[in-house]
Amino acid sequence: MQRLGTIGTWLMPVITLLALMMALSANAATPVVLGQGGIALDDGQLSLLEDSGHALDWHQALAAQRAGAFRDIPYGVGEGYSPSVFWVYATLERGDEVSDDWAFMVGPTYLDQVDFYLLHDGQLLDRFSAGDRVEDPEHDLHHRLHIVGTRIPQGQSELLIRLQASSTSVLLVQAIPGAQVGAVIDGRLLSEGIMIGILLMVLVINLLNGVWLRRTLFIYFVAYETCLLVTMLLISGLMRDLFPALSADEQNLLMQMGVLGSGCLAFIFFRQMLAFPFRWNWLVYLMFWLGIGHSLVGMYFVLQDEFVRAMAYINLYVSLFPLVVSVPLLLNWTAFNAEQKFRAGGCLVFGVFVSVNCLYTIGMVPVTQGTTYIAPVMILSFQLCLHFIIMFSVRKSERTLLDAQRRAELSGREAGLERSQRLAHETFFAMFAHEVRTPLTVIDTAAQALGVLERKGNTREQRQQRYQRIRDAIKRIDQLLQMSLVRGQEESVSSGQLWEPYNVTGLVMEVINGLEPAQRKRIRFQALATERKISLGLSEPMLGVVVRNLIDNGLKYSPSDSPVEVAVLPGHKSMGISVRDHGEGMSDYVQQRMFERYFRASEREDVPGLGLGLFVVKEVIDRYGGRIEVDTGTEGTCMTCYFVEEC
């Protein structure tokens, strides 16, 4: 223990000396060496003194510096929202080869008052000021930008800077050679113009989108954008150029109200953008409502000239806001749809940008030449980011809505089609039941009459008449059954069913062989030279319905001693069937109505039929994508049906 105590006694002075040397090396402010280019005072060249009572003048501040009361700072001034005045000290060195014409530019642009005291050998050489609330025509190099010029003597000089702000106490000083001042001013004005131009463009685009799409989300964003744009005009001093009667104090007051107003509208906008159900959304909404409340309370403090006091607390809340809100959003991320992810992502981006800017304004982020771009880059990037997020979100919403409308329209059409089909089926079967009752009655009556005739021994001619009536009635029933077959095949067509290939020539021969002997003798059939199976879009029974009705129609309207010519016509990826009679031909009136249901070209008793044959043919042709050509004249009529061959 004694040996340990002895070692401690020897080490203690050494440790104290090392700590003192490290402290001295860390606190030793380096002089500002003026050369041929500009230089930012953000690399350990400054020392700082806080004057909480606003009581010191430059003599007292210089005396305090001589007494070691100033503390060295590694970057620019970043004291956050503080009501104090801050004194800054720097040493300047200029060689004889360097021009004495220099300018000092201070930022950010919303500073109230920055006073410079240039000293040489303890004597005041020049005093000049910059800021929104001061005017120094003698040294001011631009009426709006905080840039002032002076002459710096050769050798070593001292620079005292007094910072007084009604907003955050953040200060970056840049020394610029006089020859480069014009280029610097032009660059600042250009960057300002680009930024304000982009904000104005985004504002106009979203205003037009809001009017065109009638979406309130755009209106909320436009309100926020408008307030932010006005605030930017106030911060940059352009508002006083637009309204010369506006005083510096009024501009400062409106700027502070604009900062809080844009924050309030941002909270309202994001509250609306996240207005969809998810777990723990009450926590997110509560944070937004608290943010709105903080903004409104901050406006009251502005009116009481307590902006600094209010913003010190509001910035702390806004810095923590993204961290709290991101938790429920990230936990629900997988449950969000694409549009909701766009919106939640926009809120998270908003939180990151705002949090970084808040950390900068309260002095948690070092004040350097690079970090001074945080605020403008944040505003510009954030606005563009929000604009595209809203556009993607709304477009996605519009596409979803259109898809839903299309599905609803499709469902409506399908339901309407189903209703029309059901009605058509009901109508058809009602007609079928009504029509089939008539031939059944004829058959029954004829059968009873035959029985009576058999008992009375009537002539053979009378019995033949009754037999013919029975046959006509059966034929009528057959036509009705053909129509039922057409209806029954409809579902197969709608489902895209492909039929097996079959021999069309053989089918036509089968139909012809099913006729009465007297009718078969009248048929002149021209078959294909080579028989092959063909795959058509309609089934073999359906094609048989078409052929049978065309031949029946030709036989009915031709003289009993004239032939009916039937032919199978091959074609390129198609097949045709023609039936030619040698009747009187059809008038224009008959040609216009020949395919109507129950229409008959002749009402003579020797021409039987219901007027359904050609109607059935046309129904089948239309349903299966075929076509029918009619060629009629004084020497007869030729009807040709064409169907496309399936691959």
d(CA 614, CA 546): 9
In this model, does residue 589 exceed pLDDT 90? no
Give the model's pLDDT for residue 482. 59
CA distances from 435 to 177, 356, 512, 616, 617 (A): 109, 86, 27, 15, 19
Give the model's pLDDT for residue 472. 64
Give the model's pLDDT for residue 14. 39
CA triplet 502, 507, 510: central angle to 5 degrees?
145
The model's pLDDT over 72-125, given as tens digits with 9 standing for 90+, comes to 999 999 988 888 999 999 999 999 899 999 999 998 888 889 999 999 988 999
Decide which of 43 and 476 is more confident: 43
The model's pLDDT over 429-449, given as tens digits with 9 standing for 90+, comes to 655 554 565 566 666 666 666
Give the model's pLDDT for residue 221. 82
Other Cβ atoms less than 10 A from the Cβ of 537: the count is 18
In this model, does residue 383 exceed pLDDT 80? no
d(CA 7, CA 50): 42
DSSP characters for 587-603?
A: -HHHHHHTTSTT--S--
pTM: 0.59
What's phi and psi for 56, nearest 5 deg? -85, 145
Other Cβ atoms less than 10 A from the Cβ of 385: the count is 15
Mean pLDDT of the chain: 79
Highest mean pLDDT among 72-86, 236-250, 416-430, 632-646: 72-86
Take residue 79 and report the two structure tokens written for it. Answer: 């004291």
pLDDT band per the 50, 70, 90 thresholds, residue 386: low
The model's pLDDT over 476-499, given as tens digits with 9 standing for 90+, comes to 666 556 556 555 555 444 445 556
Q: Indicate the range of 76-85, 192-201, 376-385, 536-545 predicted with least confidence.
A: 376-385
Q: Is the CB of residue 362 less than 8 Å from the CB of residue 33?
A: no
In this model, does residue 574 exceed pLDDT 80? no
Residue that the structure tokens 């304004």 belong to: 361
Decide which of 383 and 570 is more confident: 570
Give the model's pLDDT for residue 3. 39
Best CA proximity match to 265, nearest among 300, 234, 315, 223: 223
Give the model's pLDDT for residue 58. 93
Decide which of 97 and 573 is more confident: 97
Percent of the chain at pLDDT > 70 equals 76
The model's pLDDT over 131-153, given as tens digits with 9 standing for 90+, comes to 988 888 899 999 888 999 999 99
d(CA 259, CA 242): 19
Q: Is the CB of residue 59 less than 8 Å from the CB of residue 119?
A: no
Best CA proximity match to 86, nearest among 46, 123, 31, 132: 46
Give the model's pLDDT for residue 200. 85
d(CA 547, CA 511): 7
pLDDT band per the 50, 70, 90 thresholds, residue 51: very high
